[in-house]
């Protein structure tokens, strides 16, 4: 941590993808909200949608258009069953994919659950200059993703680099009149 930098709180939206959960029993969403608020960030919004491509896209793209949302974290829908469609919903919208997020998530997960980590399709990317992270639907996976990746990368004080310091440049291709790669 760079002691000469001041913490910058971010607006983070949390989306739980589930056909069965409600706010009363959404332990994964609760885990993310608890951790982001404890870190000093602001919960910009929270929703639960069913395992439906359009519902997932609608919620995430609406948040990515808001000025008060810097980051979207989803939980759920990353497995291999027929209802697991969160990666299919969001990856086509990524202007830039974050392959390293998935790789690091799987490395951390492997240490905890071994080869069962291959059953997750955790992913990340950028949509409309907003970071989007797609986590599995278990509280443990949410803890691992937040505690071992997102907490540090969403803290401006983290060195040698972090997501916060590049946020102002995420849409520079639009300011130049070009297209994203």
User: What are 85-118's pLDDT values in tens digits?
Assistant: 999 999 999 999 999 999 999 999 999 999 999 9
User: What are 46-90's pLDDT values in tens digits?
Assistant: 999 999 999 999 999 999 999 999 999 999 999 999 999 999 999
Residue 160, preceding peptide bond in cis (omega within 30° of 0): yes
- R_g (Cα) of the chain, nearest Å: 16
Model pTM score = 0.94
Domain 11-169 architecture: 3-Layer(aba) Sandwich (3.40)
């Amino acid at each position: 941590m760079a002691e000469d930098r001041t913490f910058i709180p971010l607006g983070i939206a949390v989306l739980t993808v589930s056909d069965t959960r409600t706010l009363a029993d959404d332990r994964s969403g609760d885990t993310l909200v608890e951790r982001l608020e404890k870190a000093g960030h602001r919960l910009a919004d929270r929703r639960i949608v069913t395992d439906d491509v359009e519902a997932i896209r609608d919620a995430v793209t609406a948040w990515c258009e808001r000025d008060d949302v810097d980051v979207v974290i989803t939980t759920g829908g990353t497995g291999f069953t027929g209802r697991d469609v969160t990666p299919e919903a969001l990856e086509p919208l990524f202007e830039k994919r974050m392959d390293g997020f998935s790789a690091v998530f799987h490395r951390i997960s492997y240490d905890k659950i071994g080869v069962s980590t291959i059953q997750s399709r955790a992913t990340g990317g950028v949509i409309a200059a907003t970071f989007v992270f797609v986590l599995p639907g278990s509280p443990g996976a949410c803890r691992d993703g937040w505690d071992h990746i997102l907490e540090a990368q969403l803290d401006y004080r983290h060195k040698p680099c972090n997501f916060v310091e590049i946020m102002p440049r995420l849409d520079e291709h639009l300011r130049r009149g070009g297209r994203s790669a």
